[in-house]
Amino acid sequence: MAFSHHFDPTVLREYDIRGIVGRTLHAADAFAIGRAFGSIVSRAGGSRVAAGYDGRLTSPELEAALVEGLRASGMEALRIGRGPTPMLYYAATTLETDGAVMVTGSHNPPDYNGFKMMIGRKPFFGEQIQQIGQLAETGDVVPEAEGSEQSVAIVDDYVSRLLSDWDGGDRMLKVVWDNGNGAAGEVLKKLVASLPGEHVVLNGTIDGRFPAHHPDPTVPANLADLIAQVRRRKADIGIAFDGDADRIGLVDNTGEILFGDQLLVILARDVLKSHPGATVIADVKASQVLFDEVLKAGGAPLMWKTGHSLIKAKMAETGSPLAGEMSGHIFFADHWYGFDDALYAAVRTLGIVARMNTPLSEVRQALPHVINTPEVRFDCDDRRKFAVIEEVAARLAAEGAKVSSTDGVRVQTPDGWWLLRASNTQAVLVARCEATTGAGLERLKAALTQQLTASGLATPDFSGSNAGH
């Protein structure tokens, strides 16, 4: 019987495939992804695809259906089992597979799940994901074949490779980790057993219900347990992961949060010692402080589009040794493989902290102080959101404003900057402002609001803004 499958149109996203299991995402979708992705790999001359899954309750069923689809396309499926997304990236890279698929809902609620993919050493995203839908819909897949599968034990090799770049000597740091009941649990247990120092792991058990808190370290409320334990135990640092451990959250020895761009400053200063003049990439939402500090440290800062797949592609193009996003994706090509890995970023960060002769809090406090809003997201129809950006850009051009159009519009003024961009994954616009003074921040918010009003949109809710950073 000829193969044909229709996906719910909401699940084929820019960077991954993602939906609510039982409503918009089913095991039949996982089979179809394997069937279509396997066909793409086959037509490119490949035959081996690595597959892994996170700790969600629905992940084993989806991974099994995915492997069935890969095999039906003639693929050899290398099943690495349960673990963090970067462990799959590591397996795909070191085993030199022709593709890789991770079953993961990342930092979404427990009833979500999804798929992240690589083809060769590169991210698989954008039009490529849409192609999965088109091939499935039309049945344009390779003839059914009998592929094969094998289980591959990669955990110990991955942990050993993480440890091989420890460069903090024998200093006995006191570290609190919050796994958030995410997929890194078993890897993290092995990792801390071999790192020097005193390590306390919170919520280490993998549990796809996420009973402790939502597995997203970019939301300050989700770091409350970590902050409390760092303060109570007088730890040197606290580290948190999202549900599949490709994003990191950090708090210093006083329990204050270091945001993604602040962590990138610390990492960049270290990496630039051995790569003077190198390009360091950050997304358009990052603080101006980051770009200024990279320049001061002898690097070439590059502002780029938000999205882990886009950042990875830009790193490969520019030869950048380090990149990061506000969302906590950190990408090392220095000693590592260019993909986002929160466990690896943690090892490198701990090495830097171990070599410091001052507490991490002093480094954070010494950064130039700015005041910024959080990332404000507000609904805007998918068909309208990009048009709004074009309208705003046209008005700003007529005014002679200083604008970066790398990703949406980022407007520089004497007060600081404001950003408006369209989300690639949701029907929302994203706004952010940053100033050196409170009065300046209010002027930036007013300028942004004026542009939104001119395009017929309501004023976004900036409550929770004026946070020092």
> Which pLDDT score, from 0 to 100, does residue 457 have?
92
Q: Is residue 1 part of a domain?
A: no
Q: What is the rounded CA–CA span in Å between residue 90 and residue 342?
A: 12
461: exposed, middle or buried (Cβ count in 10 Å: 0-12, 13-18, 19+)? exposed
Contact 439, 412 (CB under 8 A): no
If asked whether residues 202 and 279 sit together in one domain, one would say yes
148 is catalytic: no
Which helix (H) or strand (E) covers residue 19, if one does? strand 17-20
Distances (CA, A) of 450 to 142, 395, 396, 437: 53, 11, 11, 20
If asked whether residues 80 and 168 sit together in one domain, one would say no
If asked whether residues 322 and 340 sit together in one domain, one would say yes
Q: Name the CA dihedral angle for 432, 435, 441, 446, rounded to a multiple of 10 degrees.
A: -60
Q: Is residue 354 part of a domain?
A: yes
Show the domain range for 147: 17-153
Q: What is the rounded CA–CA span in Å between residue 268 and residue 217?
A: 21
If asked whether residues 70 and 121 sit together in one domain, one would say yes
Sort strands 248-251 and 279-283 into parallel, antiparallel or unpaired. Answer: unpaired
Q: Is residue 310 part of a domain?
A: yes
Domain limit, last residue, from 315, 341, 366: 366
Which helix (H) or strand (E) covers residue 428, if one does? strand 428-435
> Which pLDDT score, from 0 to 100, does residue 461 have?
82
Helix (H, G, I), strand (E, B) or coil at 148: strand
Q: Length of the chain, please?
A: 469
Q: Is residue 88 part of a domain?
A: yes
Instruction: Please list, in sequence order, all residues whose beta carbon lies within 8 angstroms of the beta carbon of residue 55, skipping any fewer than 6 positions away.
Output: 82, 181, 182, 183, 185, 206, 207, 208, 243
If asked whether residues 453 and 387 sit together in one domain, one would say yes
Query: Which ranges of 50-173 does DSSP label H, i.e. alpha helix?
Result: 59-72, 85-94, 127-138, 155-163
Q: Is residue 6 part of a domain?
A: no
If asked whether residues 334 and 263 sit together in one domain, one would say yes
If asked whether residues 202 and 268 sit together in one domain, one would say yes
> Which pLDDT score, from 0 to 100, does residue 1 have?
59
Active-site pick, 106, 309, 320, 327:
106
If asked whether residues 248 and 163 sit together in one domain, one would say yes
Distances (CA, A) of 393 to 22, 222, 253, 419, 457: 41, 36, 42, 11, 15
Q: Is residue 181 part of a domain?
A: yes
Instruction: Please list, in sequence order, all residues whose beta carbon lies within 8 angstroms of the beta carbon of residue 351, skipping any fewer than 6 positions away.
Output: 165, 166, 167, 168
Q: Tens-digit pLDDT profile for the chain (469 aa)?
A: 589 999 999 999 989 999 999 999 999 999 999 999 999 999 999 999 999 999 999 999 999 999 999 999 999 999 999 999 999 999 999 999 999 999 999 999 999 999 999 999 999 999 999 999 999 999 999 999 999 999 999 999 999 999 999 999 989 999 999 999 999 999 999 999 999 999 999 999 999 999 999 999 999 999 999 999 999 999 999 999 999 999 999 999 999 999 999 999 999 999 999 999 999 999 999 999 999 999 999 999 999 999 989 999 999 999 999 999 999 999 999 999 999 999 999 999 999 999 999 999 999 999 999 999 988 888 999 889 999 999 999 999 999 999 999 999 999 999 999 999 998 878 899 999 999 999 999 999 999 999 999 999 988 888 754 455 5
Nearest to 33 by CA among 78, 64, 2: 64
If asked whether residues 296 and 227 sit together in one domain, one would say yes
Contact 433, 448 (CB under 8 A): yes
If asked whether residues 163 and 147 sit together in one domain, one would say no
In CATH, what number is assigned to the domain containing residue 407? 3.30.310.50
Q: Is residue 3 part of a domain?
A: no
If asked whether residues 189 and 332 sit together in one domain, one would say yes
Q: What is the rounded CA–CA span in Å between residue 26 and residue 5?
A: 12
Domain limit, last residue, from 349, 366, 383: 366
In CATH, what number is assigned to the domain containing residue 79? 3.40.120.10
For 361, phi then psi, to 5°, come to: -60, -35
Distance, first Cα to last Cα, the chain: 59
Q: What is the rounded CA–CA span in Å between residue 424 and residue 413?
A: 26
Domain limit, last residue, from 336, 366, 396: 366
> Which pLDDT score, from 0 to 100, does residue 98 have?
98
Residue where the block lists tokens 């549900």: 243
If asked whether residues 104 and 164 sit together in one domain, one would say no
> Which pLDDT score, from 0 to 100, does residue 251 have?
98
Which helix (H) or strand (E) covers residue 313, if one does? helix 308-318
What 437-445 contacts at long range (C-beta under 8 Å, 24+ apart), as own/partner pairs, is: 437/371, 438/371, 438/466, 440/371, 440/414, 440/415, 440/416, 441/371, 441/372, 441/373, 441/415, 441/416, 441/465, 441/466, 443/413, 443/415, 444/413, 444/415, 444/416, 444/417, 444/418, 445/373, 445/418
Report the number of distinct structural domains present in the chain: 3
Residue type, 295: L
Contact 98, 48 (CB under 8 A): yes
Q: Is residue 132 part of a domain?
A: yes
Residue where the block lists tokens 């890279």: 93
> Which pLDDT score, from 0 to 100, does residue 70 have?
98
With b for 16 or more beta-carbon neighbours within 10 A and e for fewer, the 340-349 pattern comes to bbbbbbbbbb
150: exposed, middle or buried (Cβ count in 10 Å: 0-12, 13-18, 19+)? exposed
Reduced to 3 DSSP states, what percent helix, strand and coil does the chain have, rounded to the nearest 5?
40, 25, 40
